[in-house]
């Protein structure tokens, strides 16, 4: 009887390890779409709960109205939940909180 329990437990641990490994290896590519009429000049992303934003993802580039860019959100932390901030040429900014980058393939900023 103990052998059966040990086998079931070992199988469960193996499945759990496989599942957690799959979560870490999840595709974290997100297409950011500028669905506004204003040029996007900066995009920042940080894991939920972070006290600061990471560096500007666009760098010297901008994202015009209707344009999009694919971003790999894998920061090596294994986390899937991010906040994303977009800054626009007219000085406005928009924050999208609690984006699950392991499940969401596209994020569109609209007016």
Q: Domain ranges for the chain, please list them.
A: 28-109
Residue 75: pLDDT band by 50, 70, 90 thresholds? confident
Over residues 7-50, the pLDDT tens digits come to: 333 333 444 444 444 444 568 999 999 999 999 999 999 999 99
- Per-residue pLDDT at 24: 47
Q: What is the separation, in whole angstroms, between the first and last Cα of the chain?
A: 64
- Per-residue pLDDT at 27: 85
Over residues 55-65, the pLDDT tens digits come to: 999 999 999 99
Closest to 102 measured CA to CA, from 35, 45, 49, 25: 25
Task: Say if domain 28-109 classifies as CATH 3.40.47.10.
Answer: no
Residue 96: pLDDT band by 50, 70, 90 thresholds? very high
Cα of 104 vs its chain's centroid, Å:
8
Given a cut of 80, whether residue 4 has pLDDT beyond it is no
Token pair recorded at residue 84: 């994303």
């Amino acid at each position: 009887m103990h052998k059966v329990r040990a086998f079931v437990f070992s199988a469960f641990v193996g499945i759990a390890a496989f599942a957690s490994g799959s979560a870490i290896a999840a595709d974290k590519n997100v297409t950011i779409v500028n669905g506004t009429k204003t040029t996007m000049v900066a995009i920042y992303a940080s894991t939920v709960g972070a006290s600061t934003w990471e560096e500007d993802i666009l760098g010297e580039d901008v994202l015009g109205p209707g344009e999009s860019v694919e971003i790999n959100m894998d920061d090596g932390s294994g986390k899937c939940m991010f906040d994303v901030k977009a800054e626009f040429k007219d000085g406005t900014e928009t924050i999208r909180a609690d984006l699950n980058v392991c499940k969401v393939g596209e994020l569109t900023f609209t007016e």
